[in-house]
Amino acid sequence: MNKIILAAIALVALAALALFFFQKGEGAITNYPSSGTDIIAFGDSLIEGAGASSPDKNFVSLLSAKIGGPIINLGVPGDTTADGLGRLDELDDYDPKVVLLLLGGNDHLKRVPSETTFENLGEIIEDLHRRGAVVLLLGVKGNLLGDRFEPEFEKLRDTYHTAYVPNVLDGLFGNAKYMADSIHPNDAGNARIAERIYPVLISLIK
């Protein structure tokens, strides 16, 4: 068993453990358990599935298969956090139970100030909470050297009491085995992302 596999197992275990304590402590996850009915993935091309060889190979579809139920995919390639904020009315047609939220990568690529990025994400989370949804915040890296986004994602988690999976592309980015191009994961990468998110998601919908 190589170091990458061991690291992946450790990450999954830590995510599940963190979720358990977060639910039980004073910072219980907002709206958990939710009375909604729909599980929704909301975000950019990573949600939509760019890089996957077919629609059933993106990580949202893989998660849907793992949980044995539908996940509504509201991913739009190229979306920034401002774009996401501007199309929240798409959720009016649903009764969200859990919303997987993944935005921020295009803000980095378009050099949007990080303050604006995370203000927008905060407003999106507030809207989702008003709809009664549990938010599962999915992190992305904010630059190649270090990660200026991670502490900001953690602040959102702590402020709004969301569930959280950090940097979904950790260990995949820059690795041709897992990436279809410089930004988007291939089928193997999508499978790894689904493995990371699954233990947190399944805990939220039980």
Would you kindly state where each structural domain of the chain is located, as residue ranges?
Answer: 3-205
pLDDT at res. 23:
40
Tokens, residue 70 = 């539908």
CA separation, residue 65 to residues 56, 59, 60, 122 (Å): 9, 10, 9, 30
CA separation, residue 8 to residues 15, 16, 106, 156, 172 (Å): 11, 13, 25, 24, 11
Q: Give the phi and the psi of residue 143 in degrees, each rounded to 5.
A: -170, 170
- Name the nearest CA neighbour of 131 among 47, 38, 206: 38
pLDDT at res. 21:
40
Give CA–CA dist 90/111, Å, rounded.
26
Give CA–CA dist 123/73, Å, rounded.
20
Give CA–CA dist 184/201, Å, rounded.
22
List for the chain the helix, strand, coil content (%; round to 5). 50, 15, 35
* CB-based contact 191:28 (threshold 8 Å): no
- Residue 196 makes CB contacts below 8 A (sequence gap 6+) with 8, 11, 12, 15, 165, 168
* CB-based contact 129:160 (threshold 8 Å): yes
Domain 3-205 classification at class level: alpha beta
- Name the nearest CA neighbour of 127 among 27, 31, 28: 31
pLDDT at res. 135:
98
Q: How far is CA 40 from the centre of its chain?
A: 11
Give CA–CA dist 68/177, Å, rounded.
28
| Residues of the chain where predicted confidence (pLDDT) is lower than 70 | 1-27, 144-146
pLDDT at res. 145:
57
